[in-house]
Amino acid sequence: MSVHYAEDERYLKDELTEPYVTIVQELEKYDIDILAVQEINTKGTAITHLKKYIWCIGGDEQNRLGTGFIIKEEHKDKIIDYGAINERLSIIRIKGK
């Protein structure tokens, strides 16, 4: 899988449908810093910024399944590594205290 990095919203902008809007609203409502997501139906692997969050997502080439993490942008410097093993498993390493 190839990894794409975008400084703006272009990568996910076309995919910001109702489920994504709902996710962002719930993240803000409950002040969630890190969220693990699954079955996001995203094609390929990407790390991008969108709506004050860093989206680390990985899916397969058939645009089904997919896993990843959504992290508040204020924790950007704590992310050590992200990897999508396959469309069902992603890992993230985060710097602790």
What is the full per-residue pLDDT of the chain (97 aa) written as tens digits?
333 444 434 445 445 567 777 888 899 999 999 999 888 777 777 788 888 899 888 877 776 788 999 999 999 899 898 988 888 889 999 998 7
Extents of the domains making up the chain: 3-94
The pLDDT, as a whole number, for residue 49 is 82
Distances (CA, A) of 49 to 11, 17, 62, 88, 97: 9, 16, 23, 22, 24
Taking the model in full, what pTM does it have? 0.77
In terms of C-beta density within 10 A (0-12 exposed, 13-18 middle, 19 or more buried), how is residue 93 classed?
A: exposed
The pLDDT, as a whole number, for residue 17 is 65
